[in-house]
Structure formats: C-alpha cells, structure tokens
Amino acid sequence: MTVIQDLSGVWQLRGDDVDLPATVPGCVHTDLLAAGRIPDPFLDGNEHEVAWVGRADWTYHREIAWDGPRHDRVDLVFEGLDTVARIELGGELLGETRNMHRTYRFDVTSKIKINTLLSVRLNSAYAEADAVRDVVGPRPNAYPEPFPFIRKMACSFGWDWGPTLVTAGIWRPVRLEGWSTARIATVRPLCTYRSDVGPEGLGKLDLTAEIERVRDRALRAQVLLDGLPIALLDLAAGETVIHAELDVAGVTPWNPRGHGEAALHDLTVVLLDGFDGETEIDRWERRVGFRTVALDRSPDEAGTRFVFHINDQPVLIKGVNWIPDDIFPSSMTRERYALRLRQAADAGVNLIRVWGGGIYEDRAFYEVCDELGLMVWQDFLFACACYPEEEPIRSEVIAEARDNVTRLSPHPSLITWNGNNENLWLRDASGWASMPGGDLSWGPAYYLDILPAIVAELDPSRPYQAGSPWSGSWDHEPNDPDHQTFHSWEVWNRQDYAHYRDSAPRFVAEFGWQAPPAWRTLRDAVSDEPLLPDSPGVLHHQKAEDGNGKLARGLAAHFPAAGSTEAWHYLTQLNQVRAVRTGIEHWRSHWPHTGGTIVWQLNDLWPVTSWAAIDGAGRFKPLYHALREMHADRALTIQPRGVAVLNDTAEVWDGLVLVESRSDDGVVLSSVSHQVSVPARGVTVVPGLSPEAGAAIVVATLGEARALWFASDATSADAGLTVTAESVPGGLDVRVHATGVARDVLLQADRIHSSATVDQGFVTLLPGESTVLHVRAPVPLDPGSVKALWVLTDLATACAPVPVPKEVVK
C-alpha cells in the first residue's frame, strides 16, 4: 500500500544576506514578511520597496529521511514549484524545473539516507524569462513585463488591477511516497449522463487509469461507486493502462446551481496485486458527478449562438471572472476558497471563469464548486500577449496542459476549456503584428491545434473553445458581438455605460466598471493625508491606464462634481452598480439570443481600485449586493423597448405587471397594467408601457419583484429620512424610513467597525417605505455610530455641498 510522508512545515530559506526559517507550502515574500525583513507590500508604495525579491535567487533546504516501511520505490513529489528550480538531494542533482503549473516526481529510492539534505534552488523568474527571450526573440504584450517567456502565474508580474510581486517558492505540498509493485499514476473518470434512457436516466463512466510499475506481474483494478463494486478489470503483466466504458444505472445527475441538485457520488479505484487478486497496493478516491455538457455554437439568422446546455437543458449563465484570490497563492486555504465561492453563490452566480493570467486552482477550489453547483469555465494559462511557439516553451505548454486536463477531469463543475484570454483578438486590435517580434510565432498553434487536440484526446466530455473572445473562425473578427463570445471594453474605456444597450452580443464573457475598495480597505492601504482621489497612495492603488480619468468621466456624465473624497467614494461605488446593472439587465432581457454574462470581476488580490465586487480585504463593495438582485431567478427590468419580465425558474410565472408613472416627489400620476405568462426559463418583454409625459419616476411591479426608472440621474430632493438603530445580538438593526423619495441609501458598515458587515447595498425607498439594514460584527456596536458622517448616506446627501448627519434614535 502506498505510504505518504508529508514534507510540509518548517524549512530554511537562504538568499543574499538572508538565512531564516521558512514555511512550506509558501513563498519567499511571505517568509520575509513573517521575519520582518520586508515591509507590507500592500501599504502605500511599498510594492516598489520589495521589487528586489523577485530579481534575487533563493534556496529552500531541509534534512529529510524515509521513516516509512521498506518499499520497492520511494518518490519525492512536488505538487508545485515556483518556478525555475534546481533540486538536489545529498548534493546530487535530481532534476530542474521551469513551470509553476506542473507536478514533478523524482525517484529517490537509492538516494535517500538518514538525514539527507534536500535543497531546492530557485532562480529569478526574470533571469529565466530574459534568457528565453534571448533565444526566441521579443514578443509584444499588453504589459511591460516578460511573462510570456516563462510558465508562471502571469499576473504576479502586475496587471491593471494587481501589483508586481514576482514570487518564488515551494508553493504547493511536497511529500515522499513509498510504494511497491505498482501505483495508480493518474485516473481520468469522464462521467456523463443520459436523461433519455429510462425513467431514472443512465450514468456513463468512461474510465482511464494509468499505472506505473516496478514489477512486471498481473494486476486487477476494482471500481466502486458509492461503496458498491461496479467493475473488476484485469491488467496483464506489462500493461500500464486500464480503460473501461461502464453504464451506471440509478445515479442522480449533477445539476448547476438553480437547476436541481448538484449530486455527487463517491468513485473509488482500488489496485490489487494479481498474485492473489485481493491484496490492495494502491487506492484512488474522488467525488464525481454525472452530467452532460453541450455548447450550442450553431449559426442562426443573427450570427452564431453561444448557449450552454447541461443535461440537455439550456442554462442562462450568470457568471463572474475569477482571478487568484491572493497575490501569494500559496496562502490560500480550503476554508478561504469555500468562503469566497459561497459568497459568489449567494450573489446568484452560477458560473466561475478561471481567468488565463492566473493559475489552475487547487483541488479544493473545484471540489467546493462541485458541491455548490457552480459551473467552472477553465482558461488555459495564456493572457493578453503573444506567446512563442518554439522551445523551450512549447514542450512545457504541452506537458502542463496534459497534466492539468488529467488532474481536473474528475470535477463535474468544470464544463468548458478555453484556449486563451484575448490573445487571438488583441494581436490585430492592439497592432502587435507591427511591433518588434510581431512577425514571429505568437500562439495560434496552441489555441487552434495543440490544446484542442489534447482536450479531444484526454477529455472529450467537455467542449473546447479557442479563446475568449472568439467568433469561431477567422471569417469574422475575433470580438464580433454577433458571433460567439464577446468582451465589452469600449464601454468603460471610451464610452458611457448607457452604450451597453447598443447591442445584444451572443455571449458577454467580460465587461465591467471600476470603483475603489471599501473605505476601510482604502484607508488601511493608503496613509495619504489628506486622502484625495488623486493623492499619491490612491493613485498607486489604481493600476488601470488612466483609471481615475475614466472614473471621473463616468461620474461627470451623471452627477455633479463630488465635493469631497467621501462623496467621490460613494458616487464611484454607485456608478459601478449602475453600470453593471445596465449591462446585465439589458443582455439578460435578450436571453436566449444572449447566452449569458460573466462580470469582470468577482474578487481582488490586494487593496486596489478595480472592477471587483469583493475587495482585496474580503469586504463587499455595493456591487456585490447588487449582483444578487441582478441575478435573481425572477426579476423585472425597465428597458427602452418595454418592461422585461425575467424568469429563470422551472415554473411559469403568471401575474399582473403594474406600471406607475410618478412625479419627482413620488406621487402617482397614472398607472397601467398587463397580464403576463412568462414561460419557464424564459423572458417576456411587455412593450408600450410608456411613462406619462413629464413623469420623473416609473415603477414596475409584479408580485414582490420591482424595477425603477428615473428621468434624472441625480436628485436634490429631501428624502425625509428617519433612522433608528437598535442593538441586537451580534450587532445592530438599522431601520430607515422615508417620507420622500430616498434614492440609493447606503450604509457603509466598515465605517462603524473594521469587521462589521451589512446585508444590503444601495436601497431606494419611495414615500412611506422602510427597510431594515442588518449590521453585524464580532464586537458590540454603539447605535449612535450610525449618525457619523458618511456611515449612512443617500444620493441627495452625497451630491449636496455639505453633508448633514442623519438623526438617529437609539
């Protein structure tokens, strides 16, 4: 039986003038931080003060010994080395690595003695990238860093939302494995589901297992599902591959969030010694799910569709883009993955796109997605650059792809492989072909030939797409909104968010609008006094090209000039919500012509002004709460062509749509109603419900669903707010009542306490309406804290020259 000896824990780290304890898994930056050798790179401009770390060479070392029973073979296994490593054991070279995204295994059976020194020397990623560039020639990319020349997390070199903190380390677990006779090297269980076979359907298990041997004898493999044997497979002496296609009756299918149970089954493969057919020598276990994925990319009169079908049912995608949740990914834990992904699910999200400038995430990430019913769109790791197709990169790309397609294949949540992020589009759109190196190889062989061939061989159960965006062929411009996937960045970069309504793309895989992080997150990261939108620290934590200029132009189209940094902060948060809402609701009203949206982005990896809904400290921006409303299974939206009734449930939605025209003080001027019957998973647009001439507000309701439209972006009317704060177990209940029209009331809980949270974002109240905001914290809160300036604000207050605190009744 395979025996594992974990080598995680305390190692020693050495570099120039550095010799200190290190933690494995980990990275040099976190070790230096723990030892007080570098300042916090998230604070002010300290990012620049620690840049030297990424240009230095480092060595991790410790003594190891095999403490387990005697085996035919002992392997040293690294699940992740970042990135350019030379591994020595007892002074003898085991091997060299040049890829952060691969697993490495070394036979140390004859090399490991008692207290043998294991040394991992990590050379600077910059030095490696520069050396490769010298061999293959320059290549254009979107950022002035050499990430295309090394197989490493690209965004560690900086991005338009991230710092340049180029890591090195043993970033995933390392262990010794002792085994005899044979071991299970890999298992690829491709689990699909047929709903058209019998009343309960039928599971199909296409199982491939690769076996590594040290003894040439017959073996057997027993396959169990939920503890029950479903197959016993013989492996003759010398054979190294087991393959079987099995029908599995009575399984419950895995369904995406909102479409049924995300059912999982325990799959076990037990390797038995063929000598007696009973002695277990290795075991592989995972939870798998049976489901079928298809991607409708057929032509129609408008262009080319892009609609996912899971278990033969079309699924509206309500997605978010995921970047690494920590610039130091070795810091991630299963608990943190579970927290962040649960937050996504609670915001109505049903798909996570793992973006191509990051990493293939840890097994825990995909297991949590499996459990939550969150679909995963997995990019191969290419982003925003021309990538050389020659050696030494080419063979690394192939090995990396094969490694990770195999590793991730058991997860039912993974529904599609995507070749790259924006590379097929940007080469021409950004004029890269005319830049130095633009006439050299740039990556299409990967996306159009090599990667699809690997997926077809190893994982034909999932659709592959060449890139995002991609129109399906060179017959159309890659970012053509009428054909397959589209990235909407003209809006934000150059246009007001109202222009989201100019088109109905077939699938919007990226779009977004910036806002700063929560106030406490910003203040913890920036010590500027006074704190201004353009003070040095704030600008340092804004990585987008002309980001603050775009924020300012976006505000100018809708609001008067902000009278303070606090007002700027409030208004930029509001503009982010309004922009994203405009896009999602417009495109959702065109389902299934538009197959879905993937908002850029869910999360941040440090405190920064960005497109995220959850900031780098894990605090919710108001956008997070708004996503829950935009993704609601049943919702209304008022569009220029009418009131759209959105029904993403399995039941018909019948009811009376009531549309009221109101004056600016909320008085009803007229109303009209219309009976609707919206089909399951459908949309109905009720035309002709135009507001009365001169109406300032339009209110549409259907049951508990409501949508609002305002003739003006801003307001100066007195909302007549009364605020009552009551102490309750765990925090405060804050009741807000309006006698007028209170637009965009926002309570910023982090202004009360750094750990406080609130359950709503922007809330608009009509005359006579109330809402209760639930503020929670791990410490008692003073009800009077709600009356402090900017803790609770509405739009009229934010646009006023001098804010006035709200009256609070304790």
Please tell me the distance from the alpha carbon of residue 73 to that of residue 71, in angstroms, as a whole number. Answer: 5
Plot region of 17 (φ>0 → left; ψ -120 to 50 → alpha; else → beta): left
| Count of H-run helices and E-run strands, the chain | 16, 47
Residue 63 designated active-site: no
Parallel, antiparallel or unpaired: strands 507-510 and 485-487: parallel
Q: Do the Cβ atoms of 655 and 702 come closer than 8 Å? A: yes
Phi-psi region of 333 (alpha: psi -120 to 50; beta: other; left: phi over 0): beta
With b meaning 16 or more CB within 10 Å and e meaning fewer, what string describes 637-662?
bbbeebbbbbbbeeeebebebbbbbb
H-helix or E-strand containing 132?
Answer: helix 125-136
Helix (H, G, I), strand (E, B) or coil at 795: helix
**Tokens representing residue 73 in the block:** 């073979």
Give the number of other Cβ atoms within 10 Å of residue 461's Cβ: 20
State the catalytic residue, choosing from 422, 510, 629, 660: 422
- Which tokens in the block code for residue 302? 């408008």
Indicate the residue type of 260: G
- Structural contact between residues 81 and 171, judged by C-beta atoms closer than 8 angstroms: yes
Residues with Cβ within 8 Å of 683's Cβ and at least 6 positions away in sequence, in order, are 588, 589, 590, 591, 644, 645, 646, 647
Q: What angle do CA 180, 186, 267 make, to 5 degrees?
A: 100
323, two tokens? 């970047």
CA–CA gap between residue 494 and residue 465 (Å, rounded): 28
CA distances to 255, 382, 400, 444 from 158, rounded to whole Å, are 37, 15, 22, 24
Tokens of 426: 């940007």
Q: Can the peptide bond before residue 392 be classed as cis, meaning omega within 30 degrees of 0?
A: yes
Measure the CA–CA gap between 621 and 575, rounded to whole angstroms: 12
- Catalytic residues, by residue number, are 422
